[in-house]
Amino acid sequence: MTIVGFEQGKNGKIKEYLPNSKQLSSEREKRIMFFHLFNAYVGKEMKIGKKEMLQGKNIYEILRNKIEKMFFVPCIFPWKSPVTTAFTPNKSSHNINLFVRGGYQKVIDPSVSVEEAAKWIALISDGKQFRFLAGLDDMFLHLVYERAKMVNRENNVLLYEKSIVIQNHRDEVPDTLLIPSYHMIDKDNLGNEPVVAEHMQTVLKTLNDTKIRQIYLVYPKHTMFKKHINVRIPHQVSLEEEEYNVKVVPYSFSFCTRQEKRIDKNMLKRF
């Protein structure tokens, strides 16, 4: 399983794990991609804005800057001594105290809920050090799920452990199954791709045992995989070819490059 995110080493240094993408060349673009995955993974109440995705040299700094901006006010001034703020002993206060000991002296904004601040801090801390690690496949699943909900507002979209089902609001239209996985596949060598072979077993079982008739296998787009591929499986399902639709579909992350260029262009306008 591929892991993405960051973790703090014993020496205090941050090690970053960015998603591999053949569409994106720079670490900055891959970091933007990570935060789009992150936003889909953690839920709408804990999202990182597009401009915030660039406010830091690594994932940890960006998340830390977000938390500080939302919940804390600085208490270090050239003419005053640093102020240390401590909270009563409980899980929430422990996370906050750990955060302010990380090289900053901050006080929490009095208008902010301590529980809300602690929730954000707990996202990047295990109580001993700072880290956020998640499975890339799972994050990609959530990203495709959020996208499916956005383009299927009239339909019911269900998230499962490794797949997504779109229940059409029209009874006469069969449901759709999406099986996303963050693997770089070769369109000319699909038969030898282990992940595709595994997913095809799910396809066969679904077509034979359920009423789902449309299935999309979703993988990242790259130079060797740019277009939809129709899949025919005669003699393996008890259906005529026109009765089902199975496709291997590329998911593009080129919007990360466009986003970076738009932000850079807007920043140049200020000068």
The b/e string for 79-107 (b: 16+ C-beta within 10 A; e otherwise) is eeeeeeeebeeeebbbbbebbbeeeeebe
Question: What's the predicted TM-score (pTM) here?
Answer: 0.84
The closest alpha carbon to 222, from 81, 20, 6, belongs to 20
The closest alpha carbon to 70, from 32, 131, 121, 35, belongs to 121
Q: Give counts: helices (H), strands (E), the chain.
A: 7, 11
Per residue of the chain (271 residues), what is the pLDDT tens digit? 899 999 999 888 999 999 998 878 789 999 999 999 999 999 788 899 999 999 999 999 999 889 888 877 665 444 444 444 444 344 455 667 667 655 455 666 777 777 777 888 889 987 778 999 999 999 999 999 999 999 999 999 999 999 999 999 888 888 999 999 999 998 888 888 999 999 999 999 999 999 999 999 999 998 889 999 999 998 899 899 999 999 999 998 877 666 555 544 443 343 3
User: What is the H or E stretch that residue 247 is in?
Assistant: strand 245-251
- State phi, psi for 170 to the nearest 5 degrees: -95, 125
Question: For the chain, which domains are there?
Answer: 3-135 (no CATH), 137-255 (3.40.1350)
> Is-contact 248 200, C-beta < 8 A?
no
